[in-house]
């Protein structure tokens, strides 16, 4: 397969992103942009290429933010000619019979058909406005009225946590940040245990409940156990939550609901499939 590698590296440079559409939606867009999609855009060595091929090139170049001059009809046609010449050369050398190449082509076909199936499902099951609004209202209610700035130290045992609390609250009190950097096994250790501004609803229940009982600047009197280990928690600050307006996150909610619907579809297909 060594003889194929140079060709794969050169293709993107030579034909400037002349690839199949990234999704079935791009296929529809390309077809819609070409009323005469059945009319050849170019004929190379007797092989005709329909106009829709040119639109595939255009869609891919637009997605890659290529300069305007690459989107002219002349540039698109030139890219298609290059692609066809290279493909014809590959066939002439028998590369289209290479097992790796034929497998790659089949896999690309499978992926494209899979994306087409998902997009068809989404079109057939649009998310209604009232569903989006209900999800927004539910999310907003769960978020609560405020958010907290908090730090924590995560250790493996209750004994370690109690020793840290003692160092923070008795005698010559240690700095929370220093202890977090030295002892915490959480990824926030490097920041002195700082978790930033968080919503209690996004925390594990035990952590959230302990946090809600603290006053500003206060450290938990007892270690808090979660599935991650034992925590020493400090509340640094609280503020009123400025929850985003519906129109600002409507699309994000729609995407999340679509992903959930797609996940359900895949689960249903797997449940009825015979996988060996």
Q: What is the pLDDT of residues 188-241, one digit of tens each?
A: 999 999 999 999 999 999 999 999 999 999 999 999 999 999 999 999 999 999
Extract the tokens encoding 46. Answer: 């007797």
Identify whether 53 is part of a domain: yes
Same-domain status, 20 and 91: yes
User: What's the CA gap between 177 and 234, in Å, rounded?
Assistant: 10
User: What's the CA gap between 80 and 53, in Å, rounded?
Assistant: 7
pLDDT, position 103: 96
Q: Is the pLDDT of residue 148 over 90?
A: yes
Same-domain status, 40 and 73: yes
Residue range 14-55, pLDDT digits in tens: 434 444 455 555 555 555 554 454 679 999 999 999 999 999
Q: Which residue segment(s) compose the domain that 227 sits in? A: 146-240
β-strand pairing of 146-155 with 40-44: unpaired
Same-domain status, 67 and 15: yes
Identify whether 253 is part of a domain: no
User: What's the CA gap between 276 and 262, in Å, rounded?
Assistant: 23
The number of folded domains in the chain is 2
Same-domain status, 92 and 204: no
Report the CATH number at residue 231: 3.10.50.40
- Mean pLDDT on 48-75: 93
Phi-psi region of 17 (alpha: psi -120 to 50; beta: other; left: phi over 0): left
Identify whether 109 is part of a domain: yes
Same-domain status, 150 and 232: yes
Of the two residues 165 and 30, the one the predictor is more confident about is 165
Same-domain status, 230 and 184: yes
User: What's the CA gap between 232 and 160, in Å, rounded?
Assistant: 10
Same-domain status, 151 and 222: yes
What's the farthest any 2 CA atoms get from each other in the chain?
A: 90
- The mean of the pLDDT values for the chain is 88
Cβ atoms within 10 A of the Cβ of 153, count?
Answer: 31
- Mean pLDDT on 137-163: 95
């Amino acid at each position: 397969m060594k003889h194929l590698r140079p060709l794969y590296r050169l293709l993107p440079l030579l034909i400037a992103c002349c690839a199949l559409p990234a999704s079935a939606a791009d296929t529809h867009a390309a077809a819609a942009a070409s009323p005469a999609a059945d009319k050849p855009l170019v004929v190379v060595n007797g092989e005709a290429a329909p106009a829709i091929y040119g639109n595939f090139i255009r869609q891919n170049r637009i997605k890659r933010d290529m300069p305007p001059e690459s989107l002219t009809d002349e540039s698109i046609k030139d890219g298609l000619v290059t692609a066809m010449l290279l493909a014809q050369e590959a066939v002439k050398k028998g590369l289209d019979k290479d097992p790796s190449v034929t497998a790659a082509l089949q896999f690309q076909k499978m992926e494209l058909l899979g994306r087409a199936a998902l997009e068809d499902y989404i079109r057939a099951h649009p998310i209604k406005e009232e569903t989006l609004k209900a999800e927004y209202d539910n999310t907003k209610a769960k978020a609560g009225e405020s958010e907290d700035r908090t730090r924590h130290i995560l250790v493996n045992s209750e004994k370690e946590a109690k020793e840290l609390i003692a160092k923070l609250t008795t005698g010559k009190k240690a700095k929370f940040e220093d202890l977090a950097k030295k002892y915490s096994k959480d990824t926030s250790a490097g920041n002195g245990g700082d978790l930033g501004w968080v919503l209690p609803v996004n925390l594990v229940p035990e952590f959230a409940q302990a946090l809600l009982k603290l006053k500003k600047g206060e450290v938990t009197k007892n270690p808090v156990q979660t599935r991650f280990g034992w925590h020493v928690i400090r509340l640094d600050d609280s503020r009123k939550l400025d929850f985003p307006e519906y129109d600002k996150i409507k699309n994000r909610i729609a995407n999340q609901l679509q992903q959930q619907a797609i996940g359900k579809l895949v689960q249903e297909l797997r449940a009825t499939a015979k996988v060996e």
